Amino acid sequence: MMATSKKILEQEPSEIEMLLPWHAAGTLNTRDARRVEEALARDPELAKQYAVIREEYAETIDLNESLGAPSARAMQKLFAAIDGEPARKPSASFNISAGISGFFARLSPRTLAWSASLGALALLLQAGVIGAVLMKNQNAAFQTASLSTNEPLTRDLSVGAPPPRALVRFAPDARIADITALLDTYQASIIDGAKGGMFRLQFNNRALSKDEFAGLLRKLQGEKIVSLAVAAQ
C-alpha cells in the first residue's frame, strides 16, 4: 500500500498531508480528524511530519504571544474617533447591537461542540425546574382564564422594569458544577441557550441601576469560567 505522505516533494502533497496543520490546531471537523488519525496510525512518515508540524504550531504561538499588546494610545485614538462620528439614528444603533450580538454568537468548532452538549443539559435542567415549579403552584381547584371578582382591577406597579439579562459564554473547560455555583452566586438562571455557544442569563429578584449592572457584568467577565459577558435584552 502506498504511503499517505509523499517522500519526494516534487510530487503533489496528498490531501491528508495538507490537512495535518489543521489537525494540530484542532480545527478539523470530526470526519476529517478521524481520517487524519487513521492515516497517522498507519503511516510512520506522516507521523514524523506531524511531529514537525506540532513543533511549528507551538513556536508560531510562542512567536505571536511574544509580540505583546498595543499601547493605550490605540484605544484612545479609536474612542476619540468614535466620539467624532456623527450621531446615529435609532435604527442604526439597533443594527449595530444586533450585528454585534450576531457575531458574538459564533464559535470555534471545539467550543461549539462543547456548548451544544452543555446547552442540551442546561435545557433539560431548565425543563425540570419549570416542571417542578408548575407542579408546586398548581391549584387543585378548577380555574378559568376569565376575570376573577376577588382580585383588584389594577396592575401591580411594584413589578417595575424587567430583571437584567446578559449573554454569557462560558470557558470551554468550565464544569457543570462551576456553572451551577456561579448561577447561585449571582442569583441568576439560564433562560435561553446555547445559541452559538451563548447563554442568556437572567438575574433574578434584582432591580439594578445601569451602573450597578455594568459593575455586575464586569465582575462576571472577571470570573475564571466566563469568557464573555455582555448585556442582553
Partner 1 sequence: MQVLYGRHHVRVFRFGLRLVRDEQVAEDLISEVFLDVWRQAGKFEGRSAVSTWLLAITRFKALSALRRRKDVELDDEAANAIEDTSDDPEVTAQKKDTGVALRKCLTALSQDHREIVDLVYYHEKSVEEVAEIVGIPENTVKTRLFYARKKLAELLKAAGVERGWP
Residues forming contacts to partner 1 in the complex (CB under 8 A) are 9, 13, 15, 17-19, 21-22, 24-28, 48-49, 52-53, 55-57, 59-64, 66-67, 69-71, 73-75, 77-79, 81-82, 85, 92, 95-96, 98-100, 102-109, 221, 228, 230
By beta-carbon proximity to partner 1, the closer residue of 75 and 133 is 75
Least distance to partner 1 from the beta carbon of 46, Å?
10
Cβ contacts of 232 within 8 Å, gap of 6 or more: 101, 165, 166, 167, 200, 201
Q: Cα dist. 28→31, 43, 54, 109 in Å? A: 8, 19, 15, 8
By beta-carbon proximity to partner 1, the closer residue of 22 and 213 is 22
Least distance to partner 1 from the beta carbon of 213, Å?
14
Least distance to partner 1 from the beta carbon of 74, Å?
4
Residue 37: CB atoms within 10 Å: 11
Least distance to partner 1 from the beta carbon of 49, Å?
5
By beta-carbon proximity to partner 1, the closer residue of 126 and 221 is 221
Cβ contacts of 139 within 8 Å, gap of 6 or more: none
Given a contact cutoff of 8 angstroms between Cβ atoms, the answer to whether 225 and 179 are in contact is: yes
Least distance to partner 1 from the beta carbon of 109, Å?
7
Given a contact cutoff of 8 angstroms between Cβ atoms, the answer to whether 28 and 19 are in contact is: yes
- DSSP symbol at 3: -
By beta-carbon proximity to partner 1, the closer residue of 125 and 228 is 228
- Please state, in angstroms and rounded to a whole number, the distance separating the CA atoms of residues 94 and 67: 36
Residue type, 47: A
By beta-carbon proximity to partner 1, the closer residue of 93 and 180 is 93
The grid coordinates of residue 151 equal 382580585
Given a contact cutoff of 8 angstroms between Cβ atoms, the answer to whether 214 and 203 are in contact is: no
By beta-carbon proximity to partner 1, the closer residue of 52 and 181 is 52
Least distance to partner 1 from the beta carbon of 229, Å?
8
